[in-house]
Amino acid sequence: MAKPGATGLIRVIHATGYSMKGLSSAWRHEAAFRQELLLILLLTPLAFVVGKELLQTLFLLALAWSIVVVEILNSAIEAVVDRIGHEHHELSGRAKDLGSAAVFITLMMNLVAWGALTGRNLLHLW
């Protein structure tokens, strides 16, 4: 059964408000989010320099902004784990480590892709 509540445009308006609340919370409480967002704001105009074609530029933009998406999900995992309790538990640690690993992998994917396209398009290495 569907959850009762707003539908249609009202639901979209409420969902947008919740999203803005989440972004605001990430900015206020998560230093990693602020650092990565500033990095992405620097990378965004660079994508138009590094990308030689539209698809390369879009790929770099999507990959760069995926860092922020994964960081928000990691922060959500950490908030839920911390809500449950601060005592050490193997599963809590594992959940936090997995979230951190997801951020790390996303950063490494960016490093490889940005490096490869910079080498190819700007430095003409291959």
Which residues are part of the catalytic machinery? Answer: 71
> Are 32 and 71 a contacting pair, CB within 8 Å?
yes
The values of phi and psi at residue 86, to 5°, are -100, -5
User: DSSP secondary structure string, 27-57?
Assistant: HHH-HHHHHHHHHHHHHHHHHHHH-SSHHHH
